[in-house]
Homo-oligomer: A and B are copies of this chain.
């Protein structure tokens, strides 16, 4: 691990890395899908063939983990074994089977005068991906970026630096064997935090920055970036139980959305319920949540129907708990539910449980979120479910990409215009 010591060298190192990525991106942009897919499959083989080497590198990270103060759960996520390396390889093979987004024709027509116009999907160019410690993300992100025709600069967490280095060395060696530019995938070789700032200043070489991690990281990247950022902020997701809902379905969906996995962005954090069904449904729903030790923070009307609830404060409506707490409010109409969600929610994922067509239509039209569910759990907002095949993150932005970001979300387009001597008059 070489660490660039003086600031001047760091700036030069970052500029050089970005420049090589930009040059590689020009080659990658027109590379045949077959070559990219061969690289993915041969990389998968190389990972499986090099299990011992990767585990040895991973052991260095595991040995250093206590020094970084990692929790047991974080150490477990960091740990690689043959099965986990096999899963990383499988993910690469799956990405090789996805359709190449590059070259897809998005629109095309012939204009009066005979100009033939095609709007064609092309890569964005260079992706700067900043992420935290899980080493499987290193391979995944590299695969998604290169399959979509982009060069990628990976800035992984220092906690996984040896594991990531071992994986990227294999990907890079395979790249050269397969005819990809060596700089298609580059891992930032210094753990100096200042390197992130340097890269974020290089908007002439880097087309998009994607941070994946805690809110602090995302805020820092957003504040410092001079290029566009695909952000992944919090998910304060709601389930609204309409007056016409099937009570058992509502209880099942709320339970799944809250409890199936509590620490994720598409978990339910708030339950809204129509006043005319609250008395019948809230006790049933609350019982299932309380059986999983979920604390219920209720407004006055809901509290009257739920034993052992805690009073909700204004702050609760805007809070993403990521754990065993849910806020509950009674509303008078689907419109009130929509207004509440648009005001307090994070525009991520929100669901309605209803048997009423008009309520479903009003809710899906009115709620301003990346995914709006009808009679389904919020947990389904996911690149795999939405047919993207693999995702590099879930965007909480509206601009460019919204919701799960897969291969297509890492592309832009160009217009190609063919004539036979046309001039403008």
Contact = CB atoms under 8 A, between A and B. Distances in A.
Interface string A332-371: 0000000000100000000000000000100011101111
A413 interface: yes
A68 interface: no
A109 B122 CA distance: 24
Contacts of A365: 29-30
A369 B414 contact: yes
Interface stretch (A35-43, A246-254, A320-328): A246-254
Given A115-B385, A398-B207, A412-B399, A252 B373 contact: no
Contact of A399 (B228, B246, B403): B228
A318 to B, nearest CB: 12
A13 to B, nearest CB: 22
Contacts of A369: 414
B26 A342 contact: yes
Contacts of A124: 398-399
Given A228-B399, A369-B414, A419 B387 contact: no
B414 A373 contact: no
Contacts of A371: 414-417
Nearest to A109: B387
Give the oligomeric copy count: 2
Instruction: Summarize A's interface: helix, strand, loop or mixed.
Output: mixed
A161 interface: no
Contacts of A400: 228, 399-400
A110 to B, nearest CB: 10
A260 interface: yes
Interface stretch (A56-64, A82-90, A376-384): A376-384
Given A115-B380, A398-B207, A253 B423 contact: yes
Given A375-B418, A398-B412, A415-B403, A386 B424 contact: no
B381 A415 contact: yes
A143 B364 CA distance: 26
Contact of A416 (B26, B364, B368, B379): B364
Interface residues of A, number: 64
Contacts of A257: 423
B414 A372 contact: yes
**Which interface residue of A29, A109, A368, A381 has the most chain B CB atoms within 10 A?**
A368
A375 B419 contact: yes
A422 interface: yes
A354 B207 CA distance: 31
A178 interface: no
**Which interface residue of A246, A376, A377, A419 has the most chain B CB atoms within 10 A?**
A376
B111 A385 contact: yes
Nearest to A107: B387
Nearest to A208: B399
A117 interface: yes
**Which interface residue of A253, A364, A375, A415 has the most chain B CB atoms within 10 A?**
A415
A67 interface: no
Contacts of A109: 387
Interface string A81-108: 0000000000000000000000000010
| Across the A-B interface, the 7 shortest Cβ-Cβ residue pairs | A376-B419, A256-B423, A379-B424, A400-B400, A228-B399, A371-B415, A398-B412
Interface of A: 26, 29-30, 107, 109, 111, 115, 117, 119, 122, 124-125, 207-208, 228, 246, 249, 252-253, 255-257, 260, 342, 360, 364-366, 368-377, 379-381, 385-387, 397-400, 402-403, 412-425
11 contacts: A109-B387, A119-B386, A125-B368, A257-B423, A260-B424, A369-B414, A371-B416, A374-B418, A374-B419, A377-B423, A402-B412
